[in-house]
Structure 1
């Protein structure tokens, strides 16, 4: 866990805006699912896929709202 924290802090230092990096938090369940399947042989259930779908949907909603606010500020 310490290694990933160091990578996260380094990424924060490299970016001008932290909001772009914050979206990567939503990707961690996907990677966790892949690692659990590959290394532990855990079964992937339909409910897990459904949960991942809702995570993706949340990311799209967040991005849509952000773009909508940018357009409103420009007008």
Structure 2
């Protein structure tokens, strides 16, 4: 099986929805899925739901970056 990397970024809505939809489809086809989250907290409905689906692993980023509009040049 080939591996794929999808990166969803940018302004506007739909990034999480697109990632969750693709993850569910891939897991439904027997593929293993890893989702790494960089900007959202662990307390969200999609993380709870994805944790119930075999084959999907959701990991938080080790470092908290905060919201991009609050970030400095560092």
TM-score (norm: length of structure 1): 0.33
Q: More helix per residue: 1 or 2? A: 1
Which protein has the larger Cα radius of gyration, Structure 1 or Structure 2? 1
Greater RCO structure (CA 8 Å; 6+ sep)? 2
Q: TM-score, normalised on structure 2?
A: 0.33
Relative to its length, the structure with more strand (as a share) is 2
